[in-house]
Amino acid sequence: MTQPTTERTETVTEQRIEVSGLRKRFGATQALDGMSFTVSPGRVTGFVGPNGAGKSTTIRVILGLDTPDEGRALVGGVPYRRLRRPLRHVGALVDAAALQPSRTGRNHLLWLARSQRLPVRRIDEVIELVGLAGAARRKAGGFSLGMRQRLGIAAAMLGDPPVVILDEPFNGMDPEGIIWIRRFLRSLAAEGRVVLVSSHLMGELQGTADQVVVVGRGRVVADAPVDELVAAESGGRVRLRTAEPAEAAAALRRDGLAATVAARDTVTVTGADAQRIVAVLARSGVPFAEVTSQRASLEDVYLRLTSGESEYRAVLDREQDR
């Protein structure tokens, strides 16, 4: 690839996104309310929260598009607006639909490349990278949402930046595209870049993100490695399927276990592993069909963390303002 790669490895370690104490108010809505977190290189950081939680506003502040009322956001220790040829430092996908429909995809990349003094061959490289080679010379107005996302990612990668920020890159992607993005994000992290990916659907990030920053109502609700979060949430839950749920539950409770009948043929048990349950049931002579030890999904964590944090009203208000 380009000459930069060799030089980047040393610089990348210094790159970080630092967001501290951001506050911003749009009319009656407190969009950001003390948002603080740090994004480190070498891993994929998920940035999740319900619609209106302040994800996009935070990203716009990081990119110097919006000015916060309080607090600041630094990229590699510098405010974005002070970066020279910023796309060589930070690649961002903010809104994939933001294209002039009558300009071709390639020409969209061309003006961006010109603004950063990047060589034209870099355009073909990123087009190849995102798999748009067949469509790049067509007018962007005819692109599907998935193609627009790919074009947006190509634009973000144009300057081969050590910091990549993607706002909702999964939107409108077909399953194949989703798999591609996941792999692509992993490879970016593996190259030692800072990768921040926002999404309002936690499931999209499962198996991709190493770290998640969960936000609600304009501030961080949780900021932890994915494994930790999931383990804490799982807490040893076992699901038991049986034709006689009442008997099974009674037998388990007799043995000191917390069992509840969840459905006509299902009992959930907490505080015990599957082996012990099987043993108890065998002893009591209760028939059972299946015992599954349940691991919480990232989705579960997210739903619990963000319940009551929804800000749909705020979203509606803001969209009307725009």
Partner 1 sequence: MSAVEAPTRPGGDRDGGLRSALRAEWVKFRTVRGWLIGLGVAGLLCVLLTYLVANGIHSGTCTGTGVTCRSGHPRVPTGPGGEAVADSYRYLSRPLTGDGSLTAQLASFTGRVSTNPVNVAPSPSATRPGLADWAKAGILLTPDTTPGSSYAAVLATGRHGIRFQYDYTHDRPGRGAPAASRWLRLTRHAGTITGYESADGVAWHEVGVAHLAGLPDTVRVGLFVTSPVSFHGQTGRPTQATAGFRHLTVTGATGGGWRSRAVGTSRADFYPILAAGGARSTGDTAVLTGSGDIAPAVVQGVLGTNTAASSLLLGLLVGSVVLIVLAALFVTGEYRRGLIRTTLTATPKRGRVLAAKAIVIGGVGFAIGALAAAVAMPVGDHILTGNGVYVFPAGPGTVSRVVVGCGLVTALVAVAVLALGVMLRRSAGAVTAGVVVFVLPYLIGASLPGTAETWLFRVTPAAAFSVLGVLPRSSLVDYPYTFANGYYPLPPWAGLLVLAGYVAVALGAARLTLQRRDA
Contacts (CB under 8 A) with partner 1, residues 208-267: none
Q: Supply φ then ψ for residue 301, to 5 degrees.
A: -55, -50
| Strand ranges, E, within the chain | 17-26, 29-39, 43-48, 70-75, 90-93, 163-167, 194-199, 211-216, 219-225, 237-241, 258-263, 266-270, 290-294
Spatial distance between the Cα atoms of 299 and 305, rounded to a whole number of angstroms: 10
| Per CB under 8 A, 104 contacts partner 1 | yes
- CA dist 18 and 4 (Å) reads 24
Nearest to 147 by CA among 176, 111, 112: 176
Backbone φ, ψ for residue 194 (5° rounding): -85, 125
Site for partner 1 in 65-94 (CB under 8 A): 65-67, 76, 78, 80-90, 92, 94
| Cα–Cα distance for residue pair 185/191, rounded to 1 Å | 10
**Cα–Cα distance, 319 to 315 (Å, whole number):** 6
Candidates 35-43, 64-72, 210-218, 304-312: pick the segment binding partner 1 (CB under 8 A): 64-72
Name the minimum Å distance from CB 52 to partner 1: 16
Q: Which stretch binds partner 1 (CB under 8 A): 128-136, 159-167, 233-241, 302-310?
A: 159-167
- Cβ neighbors of 165 (< 8 A, separation 6 or more) are 17, 59, 62, 63, 90, 91, 92, 93, 156, 196
Q: Which is nearer to partner 1, 94 or 178 (CB)?
A: 94
Q: Considering beta carbons, is residue 100 or 307 the nearer one to partner 1?
A: 100
- The least CB distance from residue 210 to partner 1, in Å, is 23
204 binds partner 1 (CB under 8 A): no
Residue 184 is classified by DSSP as: H
Beta carbon nearer to partner 1, 39 or 63: 63
Q: Does 145 bind partner 1 (CB under 8 A)?
A: no
Is 43 or 60 the residue whose CB approaches partner 1 more closely? Answer: 60
Among 13, 70, 97, 133, binds partner 1 (CB under 8 A): 97
> Binding partner 1 by CB under 8 A: which of 159, 177, 216, 218?
159
Q: State the residues that interact with partner 1 by CB under 8 A.
A: 2-4, 7-8, 11, 60, 63-67, 76, 78, 80-90, 92, 94-95, 97-104, 107-108, 110-112, 114-117, 155, 159-162
